[in-house]
Amino acid sequence: MAVVSKKIAAPDLVPVRRALLSVSDKTGLVDFARALSDLGVDLISTGGTAKSIAEAGIRVRDVSEVTGFPEIMDGRVKTLHPSIHGALLGVRDDPEHAEAMHQHGIEPIDLVVVNLYPFETVRLSGADYPSIVENIDIGGPAMVRASAKNHAYVAIVTDPEDYGSILNALELNIGSLSLEFRKKLAAKAFARTAAYDAAISGWLAETLEIEQPAWRAFGGRLQSVMRYGENPHQAAGFYVNGDPRPGVASARQLQGKQLSYNNINDTDAAFELVGEFEPSGPAAVAIIKHANPCGVGIGDTIVEAYAKALACDPVSAFGGIVAVNRTLDAAAAEEIVKTFTEVIIAPDASEEAQAIVAAKKNLRLLVTGGLPDPRAAGLTVKSVAGGLLVQSRDNATVDDLELRVVTKRQPTERELTDLRFAFRVAKHVKSNAIVYVRDGATVGIGAGQMSRVDSSRIAARKAEDAAEAAGLAEPLTKGSVVASDAFFPFADGLISAIEAGATAVIQPGGSMRDDEVIAAADAAGIAMVFTGVRHFRH
Task: Return the active site residues.
Answer: 149, 290
> Which whole-number Å values give the CA distances from 107 to 20, 102, 382, in the listed order?
12, 8, 47
Q: In what order do the strands lie in the sheet with 155-157?
A: 61-62, 42-45, 18-23, 111-115, 155-157
Nearest to 10 by CA among 97, 108, 94, 109: 94
Which residues, at least 6 apart from 532, have a Cβ–Cβ distance to it below 8 Å? 401, 402, 404, 508, 509, 510
> What does the alpha-carbon distance between residue 277 and residue 293 come to, in Å, rounded to a whole number?
15
Note whether 455 and 477 are within 8 A (CB). Answer: no
Which residues, at least 6 apart from 314, have a Cβ–Cβ distance to it below 8 Å? 339, 466, 469
- Sign, CA dihedral 379-382-383-385, equals negative
* Residue type at position 253: Q
Note whether 500 and 463 are within 8 A (CB). Answer: yes
∠ CA 18-20-26, rounded to 5°: 135
Bridge partners (DSSP) listed for residue 384: 387
Note whether 535 and 512 are within 8 A (CB). Answer: no
Note whether 422 and 482 are within 8 A (CB). Answer: yes
> What does the alpha-carbon distance between residue 384 and residue 388 come to, in Å, rounded to a whole number?
6
